[in-house]
A and B are shown apart, each in its own frame.
Chain A
Amino acid sequence: MPPILELRGITKTFPGVLANDHIDLTLNEGEILAILGENGAGKTTLMNILYGLYSPDAGEIFIHGSKVNIHNPHDAIHLGIGMVHQHFMLIPVFTVAENVMLGVESTRAWGVLDRRTVSKRIGEISARFGLKVEPEVLVEDLSVGIQQRVEIIKVLYREADLLIFDEPTAVLTPQEAEEFFRVVHSLVEQGKSVIFITHKLKEVLEIADRITVFRNGRVVGTTTPSESTEASLANMMVGREVILTVEKKPAKPGEIVLDVADLHVTDDRHLMAVSGVSFQVRAGEILGVAGVQGNGQKELVEALTGLRSFSSGKVNLLGKDISRASPRTIREAGSAHVPEDRQSDGLVLSFPIKDNLVLNTYYEVPFAHGLNLNGGEIENAAKERVNEFDIRTPSIFLPASTLSGGNQQKVIVAREFSRPIKLLIAAQPTRGLDVGSIEYIHNQIVKKRDDGCAVLLVSPELDEIMSLSDRIAVMFTGKILDIIPTEKATKEGLGLLMAGVLSESQAEAA
């Protein structure tokens, strides 16, 4: 039996760039193929070719052994190819059923929508693949994990046999990711075939039947999980030895830098998001804040950096009360902030890289004297930063939007770390980054700690928290349930805390 999909010699160039260079790929029926590669390795370009969004310069595509031409997504759907994008294409104010039928509506006489038929088919798909959803619920009321299920149902509703998932777990909590893997397995059991694009090594080993690794637009190898380890995959991806564990010396905690006492913060809907949080961070240590996203971490960070005013509590930075201070005052007191959403908070994407490197210091000597900006100094500083922090760009005058995610984060890190800071607040500093960039940013954070900086690290990635932190605080529904020294912490114990389950001793303490 011929493979369900075969690509031969797919080549795609953009002006000046070879995005895909003679890619050969096969996918057998009922198989999970993981495509692994760093950001910009050409994975997404290839999938967009397969889905008809780009046309290849050269190469052939075979479906079930016969050659096909895919000019647009419509052709792709017709051939049984379905794609679940990283950013969901759902209309929040429509119901699940409405979203699923959008574009392929069933109608009765006079063009009246036949909701009953659609709901029935959704029910069948749900039952068959174990994708539980309520067809009549509005999409905006669903969690991200369930929204992804709706996306999968959409694809299955269009009778796809080959499903492409682009970075499917990037937006999911660990629990939701587990659930997602279960769904993928049931898809394959029912005879579907799956292509899974990712740069997360653990997932690949957990779920894939075969792994194809991309680097710089080329396939560098195909392997299976049993033949590979995280380290071997990382090396293939990056093309050099990658150290996955963060090497660090024991912490030498010094004076108290950040002192938070009984902090209460409300969210945008005026609901209590942080209720009575107290902790301290000392110079030369990393306090990791673990927790499933949406348990108040975002509001905590915003309160500590002056971006959100809070109802009660006290925040001290080096003995100075910054409870009601503005972001600028807090920064000037020696605090640095790597924001959770780098594109919306940390950068002005339309500004040149050089301006983004002085985004919050532009008014200080030597970048400005009074009202006058000193363009020369800003450029010199930018050139230094770009070299020092290895920001890959042909020019500091290009807008930040032209940078890859990893390099955008490096711009923020360069800006925040190059100042003499006493406190670093890093919220999900490696979100969506590739292995190479993660390694780099982790090392920079540890270096700051060793220089005597107090670090507050907030991340939903338990691995990141455990490998970097000296102490780990677990947040659940706006409270810190416990703070544990890392050497005493286990993944299972933290996982239970993240789900709100307290051991007896902890319950007493809390």
Chain B
Amino acid sequence: MSKASDKPSKPKIQEDRPRSFWQRLFVRKGVSGGIILPILAVFTALVIGAFIIAFSNMDTLAAWGNFFHSPLVAFSTTWATIRDAYSAMFIGAFGNPAEINKQLGIWLKTGENKALLAAIRPFGESLVLSVPYILAGLGVAIGFQCNLFNIGAEGQLYIGGLATALIGYSVHGLPWYIHAPLAILAGAIAAGIWGFIPGILKARFGAHEVINTIMMNYIAFRLTDYLLSGPMKSKGGIPVTPDVLPTAYLATLFPSPVRLHWGFFIALGLAVVVYWLLYKTTFGMEIRMVGANPKAAKYAGISVSKTMALTMAISASLCGLAGSIHLLGVDHRMVRAFSPGYGFDAIALALLGNSHPLGVVVASLLFGFLRGGAARMQSVAGTPVEIIRIIQGMVIVFIAAPEIIRGLYHLRSSRQQKKIAQTNISES
């Protein structure tokens, strides 16, 4: 055997790094895991949702009852039901494009903006809804990166809202550029402390954060009830806090009735900050290392318990900000059913967004638009708003059980891909 020719040649090291963010996302997770899977999950959920819409509709059911008499009617009625519901949802989410276009023309000609604002209001509402989604989603996602399951987002959101409301209505005489940030900061800090408690319980005593954050939720809800009916109650019969002072308001970007406020940009800004924290800082590296392999993190000299407790606090404080900013931008006071479950949906958003800040933002916009469209779907097409909940639920199921989607669309599983990559390298 010849020695020279058999000597394995050394593979050339790839010099160029994967440049764009998208390339890196593809490289990191594989095409099917990174982008394609969530898109297909949403698409599939919408298709199944269409069937549920059709067959929860009385007219459609009646038409199918007469299937043998007039089969075409059954199909056309089904189609009409689905079309009406989804087009109502689309208009509810984005506004009516034709109307917006028409009013834009009028506004440019006459300067009359009332009708234009009414036309773009749905779009603004969807964005308003997405703000707490983005913030709480980021919070849960940063926890996921550290392998911490923060189920307490909803409670932390309430705590954030309470602290912000308190500073918002009780502190007088500050200019807006101090009052609003101070109120927001109060919410972040209060929620951060709230989340630090299960964090430290986990770090010190190994108490599971899932159990503890769930329990902390109940405490937060009942604490809210108590404060709203006692110490923080406004004058009058109903259990709400006084309105925050206008100096603490987050300004809206357009005149009424469009409620889109600056909080939207704060949320996007914080998404960038979270991205920077996770991927560009030493602390982010520590978070991800503890999440991926706590034993190796310990070996590398990282205090695993400290990192866990701090990450839990940061996660909670982002969830608290969801409450604070929503309160200062929209409601301006704390009420009992303050959140319709933003904090619980946030868990789904973090999953859907692959625990990546950009993914969370995209997923939050999606949920914002779904929710925005749901109300109109009910009022115009008569489709119950719960359908949206079902669609959201299916998206989550498909994300949590990706094999369903892979099987449906014949995608290669990540395990297979990994195996191939491994053999590629080890055998070359």
A-side residues, CB < 8 A to B, are 14-19, 39-42, 45, 215-217, 220, 236, 239-241, 305, 307, 326-328, 331, 337, 339, 344-351, 355, 359-360, 362-363, 368, 371-373, 375, 379, 383, 386-387, 390, 392-398, 401-404, 407
Q: Indicate if the CB atoms of B427 and A351 lie closer than 8 Å.
A: no
Q: Indicate if the CB atoms of B299 and A337 lie closer than 8 Å.
A: yes
Q: Give chain A residues whose Cβ lies under 8 Å from the Cβ of B299.
A: 305, 307, 327, 337, 339, 345-346, 359-360
- Given that A39-B426, A397-B27 are known contacts, is A328 also in contact with B421, CB under 8 Å in the complex? no
In the complex, whether B58 has a CB less than 8 A from a CB of chain A is no
Q: Give chain B residues whose Cβ lies under 8 Å from the Cβ of A15.
A: 420, 424
Q: Give chain B residues whose Cβ lies under 8 Å from the Cβ of A402.
A: 418, 421-422, 424-425
- Bound CA span A348–B301, Å: 14
Q: Indicate if the CB atoms of B6 and A239 lie closer than 8 Å.
A: yes
- Given that A217-B427, A220-B1, A363-B282 are known contacts, is A390 also in contact with B10, CB under 8 Å in the complex? yes
**Contacts A348-B296, A372-B281 given; 14 further ones with Cβ under 8 A?**
A40-B426, A40-B427, A239-B3, A239-B7, A240-B6, A307-B299, A345-B296, A351-B289, A359-B299, A393-B13, A395-B13, A395-B14, A397-B14, A403-B425
Q: Indicate if the CB atoms of A372 and B427 lie closer than 8 Å.
A: no
Secondary structure dominating the interface of A: loop
Q: Give chain B residues whose Cβ lies under 8 Å from the Cβ of A337.
A: 299
Q: Give chain B residues whose Cβ lies under 8 Å from the Cβ of A220.
A: 1
- Given that A355-B285, A383-B13, A397-B18 are known contacts, is A392 also in contact with B293, CB under 8 Å in the complex? no
Q: Indicate if the CB atoms of A345 and B282 lie closer than 8 Å.
A: no
A97 to B: closest C-beta gap in Å: 33
Q: Indicate if the CB atoms of A14 and B423 lie closer than 8 Å.
A: yes
A-facing residues in B26-58 (Cβ within 8 Å): 27
- Bound CA span A240–B1, Å: 9
Q: Indicate if the CB atoms of B13 and A396 lie closer than 8 Å.
A: yes
Nearest 5 A/B pairs, CB to CB? A328-B301, A239-B6, A404-B426, A40-B426, A360-B300
List 15 interface pairs A-B (beta carbons < 8 Å), by A numbering: A15-B424, A239-B3, A239-B7, A327-B299, A344-B296, A347-B293, A348-B289, A348-B293, A360-B300, A362-B282, A392-B425, A398-B421, A401-B422, A402-B422, A402-B425
Q: Indicate if the CB atoms of A16 and B424 lie closer than 8 Å.
A: yes
Q: Indicate if the CB atoms of A327 and B292 lie closer than 8 Å.
A: no
Q: Indicate if the CB atoms of A326 and B426 lie closer than 8 Å.
A: no
> Nearest chain-A residue to B296 (Cβ)?
A348
Chain B positions 259 through 287: 1 when the CB is less than 8 Å from some CB of chain A, otherwise 0: 00000000000000000000011111100
Q: Indicate if the CB atoms of A326 and B301 lie closer than 8 Å.
A: yes
- Bound CA span A455–B250, Å: 63
- Bound CA span A14–B422, Å: 10
Q: Give chain B residues whose Cβ lies under 8 Å from the Cβ of A371.
A: 281-283
Residue from the set A39, A393, A402 with the largest chain B CB neighbour count within 10 Å: A402
Q: Indicate if the CB atoms of B296 and A359 lie closer than 8 Å.
A: yes
A-facing residues in B403-428 (Cβ within 8 Å): 418-428
Q: Indicate if the CB atoms of A387 and B13 lie closer than 8 Å.
A: yes
A229 to B: closest C-beta gap in Å: 16
Q: Give chain B residues whose Cβ lies under 8 Å from the Cβ of A394.
A: 11-14, 425
Q: Indicate if the CB atoms of A239 and B424 lie closer than 8 Å.
A: no
In the complex, whether B172 has a CB less than 8 A from a CB of chain A is no
> Nearest chain-A residue to B300 (Cβ)?
A360
Residue from the list B282, B300, B303 in contact with A359, Cβ < 8 A = B300
- Bound CA span A375–B1, Å: 45
Q: Give chain B residues whose Cβ lies under 8 Å from the Cβ of A359.
A: 289, 296, 299-300
A237 to B: closest C-beta gap in Å: 11
A290 to B: closest C-beta gap in Å: 24
Q: Give chain A residues whose Cβ lies under 8 Å from the Cβ of B1.
A: 220, 236, 239
Q: Give chain B residues whose Cβ lies under 8 Å from the Cβ of A360.
A: 299-301
Q: Give chain A residues whose Cβ lies under 8 Å from the Cβ of B27.
A: 397
Residue from the set B1, B7, B283 with the largest chain A CB neighbour count within 10 Å: B1
In the complex, whether B102 has a CB less than 8 A from a CB of chain A is no
In the complex, whether B295 has a CB less than 8 A from a CB of chain A is yes
- Bound CA span A17–B18, Å: 23
A376 to B: closest C-beta gap in Å: 10
Q: Indicate if the CB atoms of B425 and A404 lie closer than 8 Å.
A: yes
> Nearest chain-A residue to B423 (Cβ)?
A14
- Bound CA span A472–B356, Å: 51
In the complex, whether B8 has a CB less than 8 A from a CB of chain A is yes
Q: Give chain A residues whose Cβ lies under 8 Å from the Cβ of B282.
A: 362-363, 368, 371-373
How many residues belonging to B are interface residues under a CB distance threshold of 8 Å?
45
In the complex, whether B208 has a CB less than 8 A from a CB of chain A is no
- Bound CA span A42–B426, Å: 10
Q: Give chain B residues whose Cβ lies under 8 Å from the Cβ of A351.
A: 288-289, 292
Q: Give chain A residues whose Cβ lies under 8 Å from the Cβ of B428.
A: 16-17, 392
In the complex, whether B17 has a CB less than 8 A from a CB of chain A is yes
> Nearest chain-A residue to B428 (Cβ)?
A17
Q: Indicate if the CB atoms of B293 and A344 lie closer than 8 Å.
A: yes
- Given that A239-B6, A390-B10 are known contacts, is A403 also in contact with B293, CB under 8 Å in the complex? no
- Bound CA span A393–B1, Å: 27
Q: Give chain B residues whose Cβ lies under 8 Å from the Cβ of A215.
A: 6
In the complex, whether B204 has a CB less than 8 A from a CB of chain A is no
Q: Indicate if the CB atoms of B427 and A392 lie closer than 8 Å.
A: no
Q: Give chain B residues whose Cβ lies under 8 Å from the Cβ of A372.
A: 280-282
B89 to A: closest C-beta gap in Å: 38
In the complex, whether B114 has a CB less than 8 A from a CB of chain A is no
> Nearest chain-A residue to B303 (Cβ)?
A326
- Bound CA span A19–B419, Å: 12
In the complex, whether B298 has a CB less than 8 A from a CB of chain A is yes
Q: Give chain A residues whose Cβ lies under 8 Å from the Cβ of B293.
A: 344, 347-350
Residue from the list B13, B292, B303 in contact with A386, Cβ < 8 A = B13
Q: Indicate if the CB atoms of A241 and B3 lie closer than 8 Å.
A: yes
Q: Give chain A residues whose Cβ lies under 8 Å from the Cβ of B18.
A: 397
> Nearest chain-A residue to B14 (Cβ)?
A395
A346 to B: closest C-beta gap in Å: 7
- Given that A351-B292, A368-B282, A373-B281 are known contacts, is A327 also in contact with B7, CB under 8 Å in the complex? no
Q: Indicate if the CB atoms of B7 and A240 lie closer than 8 Å.
A: yes
> Nearest chain-A residue to B279 (Cβ)?
A373
Q: Give chain A residues whose Cβ lies under 8 Å from the Cβ of B422.
A: 401-402
Q: Indicate if the CB atoms of A42 and B427 lie closer than 8 Å.
A: yes
Residue from the list A17, A307, A328 in contact with B424, Cβ < 8 A = A17
Chain B positions 330 through 350: 1 when the CB is less than 8 Å from some CB of chain A, otherwise 0: 000000000000000000000
Q: Give chain A residues whose Cβ lies under 8 Å from the Cβ of B281.
A: 371-373
Q: Give chain B residues whose Cβ lies under 8 Å from the Cβ of A40.
A: 423, 426-427
- Bound CA span A326–B299, Å: 10
> Nearest chain-A residue to B285 (Cβ)?
A362
- Bound CA span A402–B427, Å: 11
- Bound CA span A392–B428, Å: 9
A232 to B: closest C-beta gap in Å: 11
- Bound CA span A383–B297, Å: 23
Residue from the list B10, B284, B300 in contact with A392, Cβ < 8 A = B10
B336 to A: closest C-beta gap in Å: 40
Q: Indicate if the CB atoms of A393 and B425 lie closer than 8 Å.
A: yes
- Given that A371-B281, A372-B281, A373-B282 are known contacts, is A393 also in contact with B427, CB under 8 Å in the complex? no
> Nearest chain-B residue to A387 (Cβ)?
B13
- Bound CA span A349–B292, Å: 8
Q: Give chain A residues whose Cβ lies under 8 Å from the Cβ of B280.
A: 372-373, 375
> Nearest chain-B residue to A396 (Cβ)?
B13
B302 to A: closest C-beta gap in Å: 8
- Bound CA span A273–B395, Å: 51
- Bound CA span A363–B427, Å: 34
> Nearest chain-B residue to A42 (Cβ)?
B427
Q: Give chain B residues whose Cβ lies under 8 Å from the Cβ of A16.
A: 424, 428
A-facing residues in B295-341 (Cβ within 8 Å): 295-303
Q: Give chain B residues whose Cβ lies under 8 Å from the Cβ of A390.
A: 10
Q: Give chain A residues whose Cβ lies under 8 Å from the Cβ of B15.
A: 383
A455 to B: closest C-beta gap in Å: 19
Residue from the list B7, B292, B301, B426 in contact with A403, Cβ < 8 A = B426
B203 to A: closest C-beta gap in Å: 15
Q: Give chain B residues whose Cβ lies under 8 Å from the Cβ of A403.
A: 425-426
Q: Give chain A residues whose Cβ lies under 8 Å from the Cβ of B6.
A: 215, 239-240
